[in-house]
Amino acid sequence: MEIMLIAQHLKKEISLYKEFITVLQTETEKIIGRDYKGLYETVGLKEHLIIRIESAGRSRLQLMCEAASSLGVQGEPTLSSIIERAAGKVKEELRECQSTILSLLESIREINKLNSMVVRESLDNINKTLGFLGNFMPSTVYNPAGAFEGNCSFKGSRLSEGA
């Protein structure tokens, strides 16, 4: 009975992971489109989903511990060890869920890698632009202590010499 609950729970987790992938793809679109307001909203959705996924993981662990004890699994239970002891239709259903989750996690890793690459490239472009603009900046007139330095001569800068 506990094994059937695990299968049902894994199906709920699969839907959460699919929703997470959709949000990550939206995040990619917002980053590329420079829609910063939309990006903030998307990041909020992503954070909410991460909390839900973490909660689902804790629930799955509790279900797996209960199932492992009824199946006689020694040590810390894993989904693979539970699948080994399961039988029939439930065993195939659990294998399918496990395979689906692993493939969804790989998709999440790839999308995250893409998003971080896009952000990194954007930051590189910003740094290049700032460096280019820095070439047009005048040399400093005052040093950090506030004393005058440099080769600039300002006419009328000394009021005591007359106007």
pLDDT tens-digit readout, 86-131: 888 999 999 999 999 999 999 999 999 999 999 998 888 888 888 7
The pTM score is 0.74
Instruction: Kindly report the number of other CB atoms within 10 A of residue 42's CB atom.
Output: 20
Summarize pLDDT for 18-61 with one digit per residue, the tens. Answer: 999 999 999 999 999 989 899 999 999 999 999 999 999 999 99
Instruction: Kindly report the number of other CB atoms within 10 A of residue 31's CB atom.
Output: 19
Question: Is it true that domain 2-134 has CATH number 1.20.58?
Answer: yes
Q: What is the dihedral of CA 83, 86, 91, 94, to 10 degrees?
A: -50
